């Protein structure tokens, strides 16, 4: 059986983007997923959208918290996750239908952490910029910490 992947999505007032995000997750070619939606005290229709997906797809669950920020929503999602692997998706993102499958293929080659490039687009899908990552192997705790502490290697965090 394929390994379970826990996809954690922090949600805060994302009604404008959220349906597209969640639909992209439901269309994954890798189907053994659980999706943990961390609603961070949304005041728009985000909570309703989360509940709707959770009611219609047993792979989805919703955590409700007072507004504490996306890091706390991710942390709470990790605590509840059951997957062998964890993936993070933001509520204003949408992902390629084979993204999880491709990341798992790489992870199963013996890597502890895998990441992907991304494309930044307008709400209409117009490309703003595209980031492609070169294959890179980092080994050792210190080297990994240094790599991920560098702002040029991790975006938006």
**Alpha carbons 36 and 120: distance in angstroms, whole number:** 24
**Residue 57 pLDDT more than 80?**
yes
What is the pLDDT at residue 157?
45
- Note if the pTM is more than 0.85: yes
Q: Give me the CATH topology for the region 5-149.
A: Spore Coat Polysaccharide Biosynthesis Protein SpsA; Chain A (3.90.550)
Beta carbons within 8 Å of 2's beta carbon, 6+ residues apart: 30, 31, 32, 104
**Residue 151 pLDDT more than 70?**
no
pLDDT average, residue stretch 67-86: 95
């Amino acid at each position: 059986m394929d390994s379970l992947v826990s996809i954690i999505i922090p949600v805060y007032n994302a009604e404008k983007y959220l349906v597209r995000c969640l639909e992209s997750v439901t269309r994954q070619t890798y189907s053994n997923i659980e999706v943990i939606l961390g609603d961070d005290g949304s005041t728009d229709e985000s909570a309703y959208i989360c509940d709707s997906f959770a009611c219609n797809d047993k792979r989805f669950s919703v955590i409700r918290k007072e507004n504490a920020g996306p890091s706390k929503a991710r942390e709470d999602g990790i605590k509840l996750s059951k997957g062998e692997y964890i993936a993070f998706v933001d509520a204003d993102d949408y992902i390629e239908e084979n993204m999880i499958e491709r990341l798992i293929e790489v992870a199963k080659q013996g890597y502890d952490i895998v990441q992907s490039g991304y494309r930044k687009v307008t709400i209409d899908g117009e490309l703003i910029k595209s980031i492609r990552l070169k294959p890179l192997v980092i080994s050792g705790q210190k080297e990994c910490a240094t790599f991920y502490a560098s702002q040029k290697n991790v975006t938006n965090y």
